[in-house]
Amino acid sequence: MRHIVKLSVLGGGGADLDDPITRWHHAAEAAIRTSGIDWTLLRPGRFMSNALQWAPMIKRDGKIRFAFASRPAAAIDPGDIAAAAACALTEPGHTAKTYELSGPEVLTPAQELEILGNVLGRKLELIALSEDAAREGMLRMGMSEETVAATLRRVATSTHGTEVLPTVRQLTGRVPHSFAEWVQAHIAAFR
């Protein structure tokens, strides 16, 4: 049996084709849907593993420079995405289905940083970056103007991804990992 499980993005099938991120995933999803191969689409929100970008700053001086630290999300452990994909590939009933995925709690990056500091047993300092600084940083990383603008627009106007969804539990039969559990499993990366 042939079956594709596509890792898309929350909102990937949306209608806002002016947004390049939506446009990329919309096109990829459409190609898979019309491929003639069985398919399942997984649309997770923010990954808990995004916190790994803080590791060099934590190791250097414990001062984490971050934009949009008060933007909440129900971040998900990539391991939970993998578990959902395994279910879609190995169990019947997932063909031609689209699943939006989330973690079990809504946290801001500032709250995640506090959890991380508690697990590390040290005080971490958040230095909030302005939107202009975030824009400059994304451009320096090589993102296009269009992608940067879309990212900033999403952060400023969308609440998508701020809801805890039951999907991981429904697919896997277990509660998705909390951010604290993810941190415990990956603490060596921050020491």
Secondary structure of 80-106 in the HEC alphabet? HHHHHHHHHHHCCCCCCEEEEECCCCC
Helix, strand, coil share (%) of the chain residues, nearest 5:
50, 15, 35
- The CA-CA-CA angle for residues 95, 48, 143, to 5°, reads 90
Over pLDDT 90: what percentage of the chain? 68
Q: How far is CA 85 from the centre of its chain?
A: 15
Model confidence, pTM: 0.89
| Amino acid (one-letter) located at 136 | E
Average per-residue pLDDT in the chain?
A: 91
| pLDDT score recorded for residue 7 | 93
pLDDT of residue 159: 75
Cβ neighbours of residue 23 closer than 8 Å, sequence gap 6 or more: 17
* Residues facing 73 on adjacent strands: 107
Structure tokens at 189: 């990366």
Domains and CATH numbers, the chain: 3-190 (3.40.50.720)
